[in-house]
Chains A and B, each alone.
Chain A
Amino acid sequence: MPGSLESGDATVTAIEIDGGLDVVLGGVWQVTVSRPTWGKLLAGREPRRVRLRTDEVAKWDTSLLLFLIEAQEWCRVVGAYCDTEALPEKIRTLLGQFTKARETSVPFDRSESFLTGVGQATIETWERARTASTFLGESVIGVARLLKRPRMFRWHDCFEEMQQCGAMALPIVSLISFLVGLIMAYQAAVQLRQFGADIFVADLVGLSVVREMGPMMAAIILAGRTGAAFAATLANMKANEEVDALETLGIPPVFFLALPRLVALTLMMPLLALYANCLGILGGMAVGKGVLDIPPSAYWIETQSIIDLSDVSTGLIKAFAFGVLISLAGCLRGLQAERSAAGVGRAATSAVVTSVLLIIVADSLFAVIFNYLGW
């Protein structure tokens, strides 16, 4: 009983000859369109011998090979004889390559035991801690070298970074600080109004912005904006072997790449915090004028009366520390990154997470210290 299948432009005909099956393939076999399958052609028959021929094939690609492989595989499993002598040389070579590849293919096992996992994680953590402390040490040496020989420092890079992380950040810092001042004033107004103490909104907003929220908001913005950028840039440079190029020249990457960024951000951070303070107070003043009918001059006098220099300077000390932490975290994560596209992304994410964590931890430490000192 002859059987014939057609799918797309590919055809296959099976002719039974005393217990054997002559399979003739024809037409156009293309991998991008569907093709006849061996199982369908067989339709339950169990020939003892299969002869494969491709005489009528006009055009073929891997799709044809797949069919032949299915046939060969079936023959191997049921123990039938598979005659491929009639196939063209090219096809037999490819089939041979494939069979060989299958035999030599060793499944790659990535699973590991729990203990191995723990061990590797420990080694990795230790390694990261070691690179972090090396980096910190090199940064300190770098700063000492900068103070000793300031002419060797890359001032040009540093000024460019200052512009990037300082001046270019002004719009976003303005918007966020103003809005934070505004939100705090609203919250305070609701409560203080009940006691007729509207004017104390100025005290509350002024103090909390200058001591806490100004430096903190500016730091968080810069962690997201500049810390991530530092990490991504350095990680990309590492992937491009630019960092290796510096090392082979005997130039410490920390001095060349990290230090200008560290100096730039550390100098810009207190300035941005001061600016954020002003905008935050302005936000409070807007609520005072718009909602509580406090004239701006009265609001300003009240703010002046409550804030003294120690409040502003504690804020600035914090801002300075935040600047150091953000730039260290950004540069460290960048230099620790894996050399791949995904590594760059992970470095940027990790820089932001590390910076924010360090900012909050440092801020709480400052709270305790300043309280102890009575500042």
Chain B
Amino acid sequence: MNADANSIPAIEVEKLQAGYDGDVVLQEVTFSVRRGEVFFIIGGSGCGKSTLLRHLVGLNAPMAGTVKFFGQPFTHAALADRRALLKTFGMLFQGGALWSSLTLRENVALPLEEYTPLSAREVNEIATLKLAQVGLGGFEDYFPAEISGGMRKRAGLARALALDPEIVFFDEPSAGLDPVTSRKLDELILQVRDTFGTTIVIVSHELDSIYSIADRVIMLDRAEKGVIAEGTPRELAANSRDPRVSEFLRRLDMAARPA
């Protein structure tokens, strides 16, 4: 692969305007995500983090603006091009969003059956491998209803990783998880990035995760309807003059500071 291709950002968002039913939630949002980066979208409740994510993955159409992946336009792309791009994504939904009528193995196998020329035996092998990778070896034949919330989330990640995507999106990965499981998920995210060079986009307000794995963050604000800060978390915590940003990011510092 030549250097040119590598310098194109994984995601470019330009002047994106997003909202529902005429209500504008985000006004002219512009940012880009580099390849192989762990990128966090942070902000308080109701600031449009999840809305932005839904627009990035194409679940909602933007009111204006464009989203490009690896230099290719996604927003107004033809159906075939869109499908080709969708193949390169994986998404972990908040609750795991596993299909309840399928076993974990079948959940992971479905995207493989849909998009790869692999034989049934190979699909099975990959599903087992992916589940093992997220620490669910031995649970292949369980149904989602038979396992805990944290396990469901990890199984969701295994499904998101099934096609070895170039970009994986996470919607609140640590929501509803205990701190230990949450840490393990963070480690898993880093492992995936380090092994496959995957680009990671995470919507979260979990400060622990932000400080431990984020390469770069953008912060959204409800009143501003857009990005109010961009940079590494430590940079922002140390240098930002915006009280909204420092208040959000310094809470952990306060907690961690020795008495």
Where the two chains meet, the residues of A that have a C-beta atom closer than 8 Å to any C-beta of B are 30-34, 58-59, 61-63, 65-66, 69, 90, 93-94, 97-98, 100-102, 104-108, 110, 339-342
Q: How far apart sit A35 and B175, CA to CA, in the bound complex (Å)? A: 39
> B residues 96-132 with Cβ under 8 Å of A?
100-101, 112, 115-118, 122, 125-126, 128-132
Q: How many A-B pairs fall under 8 Å by CB?
A: 70
Q: Quick one: which of B1, B116, B118, B195 contacts A59, CB cutoff 8 A?
A: B1
**Chain A contacts of B129 at CB under 8 A?**
62, 65, 94, 97-98, 101
Q: In the complex, are the beta carbons of B126 and A31 less than 8 A apart?
A: yes
**Chain B contacts of A32 at CB under 8 A?**
87, 115-117, 163
Q: In the complex, are the beta carbons of B112 and A31 less than 8 A apart?
A: yes
Q: How far apart sit A107 and B138, CA to CA, in the bound complex (Å)? A: 7
Q: How far apart sit A61 and B87, CA to CA, in the bound complex (Å)? A: 14
Q: In the complex, are the beta carbons of B133 and A106 less than 8 A apart?
A: no
Q: In the complex, are the beta carbons of A108 and B141 less than 8 A apart?
A: yes
Q: How far apart sit A220 and B124, CA to CA, in the bound complex (Å)? A: 47
Q: How far apart sit A269 and B143, CA to CA, in the bound complex (Å)? A: 42
Given contacts A104-B137, A104-B138, contact A341 B100 (CB under 8 A): yes
Would you give 18 A-B contacts (Cβ < 8 Å), ordered by A?
A30-B164, A31-B164, A32-B87, A32-B163, A59-B1, A61-B196, A62-B126, A65-B129, A66-B125, A69-B125, A90-B195, A93-B195, A98-B129, A101-B132, A104-B138, A106-B138, A108-B142, A342-B101
Distance of B118 from chain A, by nearest CB (Å): 7
Given contacts A66-B125, A101-B129, A105-B128, contact A33 B140 (CB under 8 A): no
Q: How far apart sit A69 and B128, CA to CA, in the bound complex (Å)? A: 13
- B194 within 8 Å of A by Cβ? yes
- B24 within 8 Å of A by Cβ? no
> B residues 185-217 with Cβ under 8 Å of A?
194-196
A32-B87, A100-B137 are known; give 17 further A-B pairs, CB within 8 A. A31-B118, A31-B163, A59-B1, A62-B130, A66-B118, A66-B125, A90-B194, A94-B133, A100-B132, A101-B138, A104-B138, A105-B128, A105-B140, A108-B142, A340-B145, A341-B100, A342-B101
Where the two chains meet, the residues of B that have a C-beta atom closer than 8 Å to any C-beta of A are 1, 87, 100-101, 112, 115-118, 122, 125-126, 128-133, 137-138, 140-142, 145, 163-164, 194-196
**Please, which residue of chain B has its CB at the minimum distance from the CB of A69?**
B125
**Chain A contacts of B133 at CB under 8 A?**
94, 97
Distance of B160 from chain A, by nearest CB (Å): 13
Distance of A145 from chain B, by nearest CB (Å): 35
Distance of A246 from chain B, by nearest CB (Å): 22
Q: In the complex, are the beta carbons of B126 and A108 less than 8 A apart?
A: no
Instruction: Give the 6 A-B CB pairs with smallest separation, nearest first.
Output: A101-B132, A101-B137, A61-B164, A108-B141, A34-B117, A98-B129
**Please, which residue of chain A has its CB at the minimum distance from the CB of B1?**
A58
**Chain B contacts of A59 at CB under 8 A?**
1
Distance of B138 from chain A, by nearest CB (Å): 5
Q: In the complex, are the beta carbons of B163 and A108 less than 8 A apart?
A: no
**Please, which residue of chain B has its CB at the minimum distance from the CB of A91?**
B195
Q: How far apart sit A34 and B118, CA to CA, in the bound complex (Å)? A: 7
Q: In the complex, are the beta carbons of B100 and A342 less than 8 A apart?
A: yes
**Chain B contacts of A58 at CB under 8 A?**
1
**Chain A contacts of B145 at CB under 8 A?**
339-340
**Chain A contacts of B142 at CB under 8 A?**
108
Distance of B164 from chain A, by nearest CB (Å): 3
**Chain A contacts of B164 at CB under 8 A?**
30-31, 61-63
**Chain B contacts of A94 at CB under 8 A?**
129, 133, 195
Q: In the complex, are the beta carbons of A97 and B132 less than 8 A apart?
A: yes
**Chain A contacts of B194 at CB under 8 A?**
90
**Chain B contacts of A110 at CB under 8 A?**
141
**Chain B contacts of A65 at CB under 8 A?**
129
Q: How far apart sit A72 and B253, CA to CA, in the bound complex (Å)? A: 49
Q: How far apart sit A110 and B142, CA to CA, in the bound complex (Å)? A: 10
**Please, which residue of chain A has its CB at the minimum distance from the CB of B100?**
A340
**Chain B contacts of A340 at CB under 8 A?**
100, 145
Q: In the complex, are the beta carbons of A108 and B140 less than 8 A apart?
A: yes
Distance of B80 from chain A, by nearest CB (Å): 15
**Chain B contacts of A341 at CB under 8 A?**
100
Q: Which has the most chain B C-beta neighbours within 10 Å: A61, A69, A110?
A: A61
